[in-house]
Structure 1
Amino acid sequence: MNALQNLLFCVPKAAVLHGKSVGFASQKSRFRNVKAQLSLFNRIIFTKLNRKSLTVSVGSFLKNT
């Protein structure tokens, strides 16, 4: 009876474990995509901020001279 129970348990267990690994793989892929987009977004924002602060710094320097 024990061998039959093992056989009946192993098939659904393998299917569940496969589903879990597929789920984790898609979650990891989603995380990688968001991380890449966030990096690009930060570069765009900080580049624009640096240009504005540079413009303000040069403008205030010219006003003081």
Structure 2
Amino acid sequence: MNALQNLLFCIPKADLLHGKSVGFASQNSRFRNAKSKLPFFKEIIFTKQQLFSAKTTAIP
């Protein structure tokens, strides 16, 4: 009976663990994609901020 219980438990457990690893892989992939685009967004944010501050200080 114990071998049957192990067999019945191992199959769903393997599927569950496979689903977890796929979920973590896609999460890591999204993180890497966002991390690679970070310098681009930093440039846009700081450029816009500098332009905005230059416009507001230039007005007499």
Where on the TM-score scale, by shorter chain, does this alignment land: which range?
Answer: 0.5 to 0.7
The structure having more radius of gyration, on CA atoms, is 1
Residue identity matched to 1:44: F
Task: Tell me the CA shift for residue 33 of structure 1.
Answer: 0.8
**Corresponding residue for residue 39 of structure 1:** 35
Q: TM-score, normalised by structure 2?
A: 0.66
RMSD over aligned Cα atoms: 2.4
Residue identity matched to 1:37: N
Q: Residue 4 of structure 2 is aligned with which of 2, 8, 13? A: 8
Is residue 20 from structure 1 mapped to residue 16 from structure 2 by the alignment?
yes
**Partners of 1:37 and 1:18 in 2: CA distance:** 29
Unpaired runs of 5+ in structure 2?
none
The 4+ residue runs of structure 1 with deviation greater than 3 A are 52-63
Residues paired across the two proteins, number: 60
Identity, % of aligned positions: 8
